[in-house]
Chain A
């Protein structure tokens, strides 16, 4: 054990500790600040009180916005997962000229189409369609933005399902719907589960599109409402924000744990080709 080795080792642990603190402090804040009598932006041992929780539940829009978030994400996630699964299966199995180019173009354009660059056209289009202040309309736009990437990722999973599985089912008399439901989707299930969680998390944290398309405060999801939580004096409302942040983060964690346990993000064994 040379002195140089010791120094390097100590330096390494110090670095790890700094990185750890960087990630741990927000977590600890999220655990302590909601129940602190005098919540601040710093981290300290709390004077326990339920007052902040009561204040958050009394806030006129806090719980509504969380419900709005759930509805918005449920629609966007369902639309993304179902359409992406069907489209990815079709694109994986049907040979059309320029298929790969099409996929890459979709992927490339998707980040442009629903990004900042397209804010004005999207707003105008939704205004003319009468879909401003519509959860459903907003969910569709969010889903539209996620679909290309979802299709792109799921197509790889679909490609990995051996054709002999489908052909085997067909020889036994399975209809195309049965082939999809009995064989392809279950085998590609880890991929579908991954897309499901990815879509939900993306939609849950999406700020720009709901902010743009849901002008009525009563319609806004949590990600947008968080920005408006000020007290009368115009500074951040630290009674509501910590509790609200905690509530806001729970669904994503629960969803991740549930899907990971139920379906697993890993690949199903037994595939040889």
Chain B
């Protein structure tokens, strides 16, 4: 068990791109940590630098008390699950799971025991003699997780762990993943571009953009008080309303807005989108479009004029120049 310490880390590619830019980060022991950001923000590069698959150009990476910056991947005591799972197609599931032990020269009988035990813990019992190609997507993901668990590493790294699953399976796998991490109490860092996934899974989230961390906090902090307009835009299943008012930008989540006699915004209902239990209503307020969420069966008619308001604590003010949170 160990936390991860990242200090002044930069990863520069040979073509000069600074994928990770002098970044500081501490991942606590036993934490489930999310690296969240749009594609190309450097989150996968950061993960690969922790694993040792990319070399650090500047700065240091520590795992526990050890400085691993210059260690090859195999000596870092990290386990990694790749986006495509990287299960070896010519080996059985059992051989795949026991592969980390085979590399270390562990006896075959011990390897088999470990494979059986690990597979049982991840609901893969009875599938050990199959080939990865004969497994479903969810089983493949669990096999890849089992292989990482069998490596008995100090840190588990997951690259987009849920992105190769279809939508329904993804929810199931998400719950499973969180439960597994709680049981193992293993320091885990995962990369995702899906803000809902990060909010649901992580103890803490680092929102990344252009190789830097824009905000670091718990899912609640990041959702309720985004540190700047970039994070505000990125987090939330419906985009945050960001409306310029003088030298400031006012930010309110559509979920916090409710119809009121008088309030922040008044406009004409232009579009109503059904989201299932709720509907997203778009108001035309002059140049701005304001979205707010209403419960089912409470949708206003298109063309009516509606005024919406939010509790003062849920209305955020950003500086127009810097985009940073003022209050």
Residues on A lying within 8 angstroms of B by beta carbon are: 162, 164-165, 167-175, 178, 182-183, 186-187, 189, 268-273
Q: Which of B87, B90, B131, B151 contacts A172 (CB 8 A)?
A: B151
Closest B-chain residue to A170, C-beta based? Answer: B73
Taking the closest CB of chain B, its distance from the CB of A54, in whole angstroms, is 48
Given A167-B82, A168-B80, A171-B73, A187:B103 Cβ within 8 A: no
Q: Which of A171, A175, A187, A189 contacts B80 (CB 8 A)?
A: A171
Residues of A within 8 A of B51 (CB): 171
Taking the closest CB of chain B, its distance from the CB of A176, in whole angstroms, is 10
Residues of B within 8 A of A172 (CB): 74, 79, 99-100, 103, 147, 151
Residues of A within 8 A of B100 (CB): 172-173
Main secondary structure, interface of A, reads helix
Contact B74 A171 (CB under 8 A): yes
Give per-residue flags for B74-108: 1 if the beta carbon is below 8 A from chain A beta carbons, else 0: 11101110111011111100000001101110000
Chain B, range 109-131, C-beta contacts under 8 Å to A: 131
In the assembled complex, the Cα of A162 lies from the Cα of B51 at a distance in Å of: 18
Given A164-B82, A269-B133, A272-B84, A169:B89 Cβ within 8 A: no
Q: Which of A162, A173, A178 contacts B84 (CB 8 A)?
A: A162
Contact A165 B133 (CB under 8 A): no
Taking the closest CB of chain B, its distance from the CB of A213, in whole angstroms, is 40
Closest A-chain residue to B151, C-beta based? Answer: A172
Chain B, range 163-213, C-beta contacts under 8 Å to A: none
Residues of A within 8 A of B133 (CB): 269-270
Residues of A within 8 A of B53 (CB): 167, 170-171
In the assembled complex, the Cα of A271 lies from the Cα of B132 at a distance in Å of: 10
Residues of B within 8 A of A270 (CB): 87, 89, 131-133
Closest B-chain residue to A272, C-beta based? Answer: B84
Taking the closest CB of chain B, its distance from the CB of A190, in whole angstroms, is 10
Q: Which of B74, B90, B104 contacts A268 (CB 8 A)?
A: B90
In the assembled complex, the Cα of A182 lies from the Cα of B86 at a distance in Å of: 13
Residues of A within 8 A of B87 (CB): 270
Q: Which of A162, A164, A170, A189 contacts B74 (CB 8 A)?
A: A170
Residues of B within 8 A of A187 (CB): 88-90
Residues of A within 8 A of B52 (CB): 171
